Chains A and B, each alone.
Chain A
Amino acid sequence: MKRPQLSFRQLKITFGDNAPALDSLDLDLYAGETLALVGESGSGKSVTALASLGLLPENAKVSGSILLQSQQSEASLDLVQLPESKLRPLRGKRLAMIFQEPMTSLNPLHRVHKQIAETLRLHQGLVGQAAYQRCLELLKAVRLPEPERLAQAWPHQLSGGQRQRVMIAMALANNPDILLADEPTTALDVTVQKQILDLLKDLQQEFGMAILLITHDLNLVRQYADRVSVLHQGKQVETQSTAALFESPQEAYTRHLLASEPTGSPYPVPGNQPLLLGKNLRVEFTRASNSILPWKKKPPFVAVEDLNLELRPGETLGIVGESGSGKTTLALALLRLQSMAQGTIQLEGQALEGLDQKALLPWRRKMQVVFQDPYGSLSPRMSVADIVAEGLKLHHPELSAEEVDTQVCQVLQEVGLETAVRHRYPHEFSGGQRQRIAIARALILKPRLLVLDEPTSALDRSVQAQVIELLRELQKRHQLAYLFISHDLRVVRALSHRIMVMQAGRLIEEAATEQLFSQPQQAYTRQLLLAAGFTKQ
């Protein structure tokens, strides 16, 4: 019988006096398999990976054992008991880790080859030309084009996908037995995500590593994992083979997790006059000139190119595209928060593009926005009541303090929060609750148009489903028009009547939701759908 490479036995991790972040985890990881660790944020996924490397912060108390099979003998090492000096040679050599954020996990002050060579020098004693050659081999192994050029590049010159490939190359440098991948593709676009995971799969077959894939994305798990272990609030809920888990989940929580994939479709739109009309919208950014002659200017960067759109009351227009495709810029331009090079915007028949900030004020009330980051979109120094009431006080200065308070309570109830929360501060709330507060802030002005800029991207799946349900209900009740921006096709599908696909500032395709998913016309749309797992290869 095969022996596991890495086994967790009754692993328990506690921070300070709080409830354990991870409780009695029993898990085996075999060579050549991909084991997915799935759960919502705070379920103890990342803590498991950090514990295996002995990288937990000092206030963590660990009990139980993490057994790493020794290479020479039958015996195994307990990583929990091992002192720091014995752990260090194992890190990067037997166990390697890929982190979530490719933007910050490379040192910006060193060239790519230097960072890879560092692990080679530490664990294999390779220096000089030998290290450089090995570095080129590794860059080739992770399928990077032109390894000679990229080896000399600085991290900021690489795209997100390229950086993650470099991170993988660094992880692979010493042929580790175990690769811990902590949300390796969460920060990447769907098409890049697919490439990276395909690469990991290939490399696994080539080198026979065991991969511990930590993710919240069930879609990835279904495509890439051999076995799945579901965690919930530090407890191991269920461990099964992937196929078995998706077909017959044993535990209620697993079923809940599987069911919280965004589903359903929006309520039908009542036929109506268009609420928002955008014609020939074009947004340009000037680029810094690298000539010393001040009149020699670079051609501007076109973020949105000659785009037309139309939105009716009660309708949701989904905008999908990868990062940098101009989705958010378009939304900001429509809200008149971003200046346009050309184009006209009409809201309820009124042209907005010529109005100055003062004349725009009454129209601001009618178009509101909810942003992506539930942590950044609420001022940390204001109570919930102040945050929600701010716009109301501005647009209706005639209201008395009691009337404002009544309206705040009403709108908080409407978004599913208790009225008592209005005296508390944003940091006391979870991501989903904060997003509800942000929606309340927009909703209290009784807008006609709500721009939703990735409102669910930072939330866990089950919370996501709740927020989508809320948005759908609100739309029906108030006949709101939504401009819904997202890179997540599942969420867009659940909420949108029509979908626009954008790439590099241009409109690629526009169609009714079901039509787009069943009969995509453009190659790029098909590629997106494939990467998101809607169509099989």
Chain B
Amino acid sequence: MSQGLMLSRLSPLNQHRWQLFKSNRRAWWSLWIFLFIFAISLMAELVANSKPLVVNYQGSFYFPLIEDYPETTFGGDLPITADYRDSYLAELITEEGWMLWPIIRFGASTINYELTQPAPTPPSAENWLGTDDQGRDVMARVIYSLRLSILFALILTLGSSVVGVMVGALQGYYGGRLDLWGQRFIEIWTGLPTLFVLIILSSIINPGFWWLLLILLLFSWTALVDLVRAECLRARNLEYVRAARALGLPNRQIIWRHVLPNALVATLTFLPFLFTGAVTTLTALDFLGFGMPPGTPSLGELVAQGKTNLHAPWLGITAFMTLAILLTLLVFIGEGVRDAFDPRKTLAPREKKA
């Protein structure tokens, strides 16, 4: 129903593209699997947590995810935040009520103190993918780090395409001196070694999520400029753009309404690949230790753990499989999008009709 509504709002051309994308089974399934993984990771707190979702104690309900309760609430001795994984407290609660746990009873930084052997431990019924060298559950960390990676890549991709499309459109539409100087600036700017700048900056500031995003954005916006610029250079001489100028439409409206929609086709086909690139970049930085602050669950950190703990192959294998599956899905989706926007494929059935 809602899909039908959405489709009817799309122009016929886009409807056709949507159909083309759907008919590409591999891309279509990849999209759904990716969305499923993303949805799971967005709900990470409900899937993997060291706190129960609901506690029923003496007939009343408690929601530890939303509120912190002191141990004394459940008949404990100390007025500190309740540790539901503590067997003493768990016993107290289950005597006079029950607890509803998430599927995985570990958060991203929960350390399993009840390991029977020194960490890292191999996969077991409790820790499905084993634990890392600090005794943290790998499965929980993978789920949390997927969320971080995907969100980071999403914001970075959107940010760099917004900036890139804007700069490209201005350069392409106005051309002339602006274009000339803009191109020279970009040539110099892309010549800067991103990694070194990042390493130098991270010694001055302590980069968190947003800092890292900002620094990477500084260098990644150039990816789309050339593409959009070329499309706009072409579009500004199209007759309907000329007709719009003859109507007296101001430049910003011409760019927004007539030039950009056509340039965006090229951009959209590029986005999934930018996204893939952003995931890889973040992973690489984390692996090198220049990424997120220590302790943050991230795929790069897991790769690094796999490298330092070769005797614990589940770490390396998990990191590899997670990255491989994520990137493969994204590439398949990207291919589907690219093919759906391919003018030869989009227009082919219509030519037959004519």
Q: Is the CB of B261 within 8 A of A391?
A: no
- The answer for the CA separation of A42 and B262 in the assembled complex, in Å, is 28
> Could you say which residues of chain A place their CB within 8 Å of the CB of B350?
427
Q: Is the CB of A391 within 8 A of B248?
A: yes
Contact partner, B242, options A369, A382, A391, Cβ 8 Å: A369
List the 3 shortest-distance A-B pairs measured between CB atoms, nearest first.
A364-B248, A391-B247, A377-B239
Q: Is the CB of A425 within 8 A of B11?
A: yes
> Could you say which residues of chain B place their CB within 8 Å of the CB of A42?
354
> Could you say which residues of chain A place their CB within 8 Å of the CB of B199?
none
Q: Is the CB of B354 within 8 A of A390?
A: no
Cβ contacts B238-260/A at 8 Å (1 or 0 each) = 11101111111110010001100
Q: List 16 A-B contacts (CB under 8 A).
A: A59-B352, A335-B246, A368-B246, A369-B246, A371-B242, A376-B239, A376-B240, A377-B243, A379-B261, A381-B13, A390-B257, A394-B249, A395-B248, A425-B11, A438-B243, A441-B247
Interface size class of A (residues with CB under 8 A): 35 or more
Binding site for A on B (CB under 8 A): 11-13, 238-240, 242-250, 253, 257-258, 261-262, 350, 352-354
Contact partner, A18, options B12, B244, B262, B353, Cβ 8 Å: B353
B226 to chain A, nearest CB (A): 21
Contact partner, B262, options A371, A377, A381, Cβ 8 Å: A381
Q: Is the CB of B239 within 8 A of A337?
A: no
- The answer for the CA separation of A42 and B248 in the assembled complex, in Å, is 37
Q: Determine the residue in chain A with the shortest Cβ distance to B347.
A: A427
> Could you say which residues of chain A place their CB within 8 Å of the CB of B245?
337
Q: Is A172 an interface residue (CB 8 A)?
A: no
- The answer for the CA separation of A428 and B262 in the assembled complex, in Å, is 18
> Could you say which residues of chain B place their CB within 8 Å of the CB of A394?
247-249, 253
> Could you say which residues of chain A place their CB within 8 Å of the CB of B250?
357
Q: Is the CB of B247 within 8 A of A371?
A: no
Q: Determine the residue in chain B with the shortest Cβ distance to A361.
A: B248
Q: Is A281 an interface residue (CB 8 A)?
A: no
> Could you say which residues of chain A place their CB within 8 Å of the CB of B239?
371-373, 376-377
- The answer for the CA separation of A337 and B353 in the assembled complex, in Å, is 37
Q: Is the CB of B244 within 8 A of A390?
A: yes
Given contacts A42-B354, A376-B239, could you give 18 more A-B pairs where the C-beta distance is less than 8 Å? Answer: A18-B353, A332-B242, A357-B248, A367-B246, A368-B247, A369-B242, A369-B246, A373-B239, A376-B238, A377-B240, A379-B257, A379-B261, A380-B13, A381-B262, A391-B249, A395-B247, A428-B12, A445-B247
- The answer for the CA separation of A328 and B15 in the assembled complex, in Å, is 37
> Could you say which residues of chain A place their CB within 8 Å of the CB of B13?
380-381, 425, 427
> Could you say which residues of chain A place their CB within 8 Å of the CB of B244?
390
Cβ contacts A218-245/B at 8 Å (1 or 0 each) = 0000000000000000000000000000
Binding site for B on A (CB under 8 A): 15-16, 18, 42, 59, 332, 335, 337, 357, 360-361, 364-365, 367-369, 371-373, 376-382, 390-391, 394-395, 425, 427-428, 438, 441, 445
Q: Is the CB of A441 within 8 A of B248?
A: no
Q: Is the CB of A365 within 8 A of B243?
A: no
Asked whether A364 and B246 contact (CB < 8 A) given A18-B352, A42-B354, A381-B262, the answer is yes
B243 to chain A, nearest CB (A): 6
Q: Is the CB of B242 within 8 A of A379?
A: no
Asked whether A378 and B240 contact (CB < 8 A) given A16-B352, A59-B352, A425-B12, the answer is yes
> Could you say which residues of chain A place their CB within 8 Å of the CB of B257?
379, 382, 390
Q: Is the CB of B248 within 8 A of A369?
A: no
- The answer for the CA separation of A332 and B242 in the assembled complex, in Å, is 9
B237 to chain A, nearest CB (A): 10
- The answer for the CA separation of A360 and B245 in the assembled complex, in Å, is 11
Most buried by B among A372, A381, A390, A428: A381
> Could you say which residues of chain A place their CB within 8 Å of the CB of B258?
379
Q: Determine the residue in chain B with the shortest Cβ distance to A375.
A: B239
A404 to chain B, nearest CB (A): 14
> Could you say which residues of chain A place their CB within 8 Å of the CB of B247?
364, 368, 390-391, 394-395, 441, 445
Contact partner, B248, options A59, A332, A360, A379, Cβ 8 Å: A360
> Could you say which residues of chain B place their CB within 8 Å of the CB of A365?
248
B9 to chain A, nearest CB (A): 12
- The answer for the CA separation of A425 and B350 in the assembled complex, in Å, is 14
> Could you say which residues of chain A place their CB within 8 Å of the CB of B249?
390-391, 394
- The answer for the CA separation of A360 and B249 in the assembled complex, in Å, is 11
Q: Is the CB of B248 within 8 A of A15?
A: no
Q: Determine the residue in chain A with the shortest Cβ distance to B351.
A: A15
> Could you say which residues of chain B place their CB within 8 Å of the CB of A425?
11-13
B254 to chain A, nearest CB (A): 10
Q: Determine the residue in chain B with the shortest Cβ distance to A372.
A: B239
Asked whether A337 and B242 contact (CB < 8 A) given A381-B261, A381-B262, the answer is yes
Q: Determine the residue in chain A with the shortest Cβ distance to B354.
A: A42
- The answer for the CA separation of A376 and B243 in the assembled complex, in Å, is 10
- The answer for the CA separation of A494 and B352 in the assembled complex, in Å, is 36
A162 to chain B, nearest CB (A): 25
> Could you say which residues of chain B place their CB within 8 Å of the CB of A428?
12
Q: Is the CB of A381 within 8 A of B246?
A: no
Q: Is the CB of A441 within 8 A of B243?
A: yes
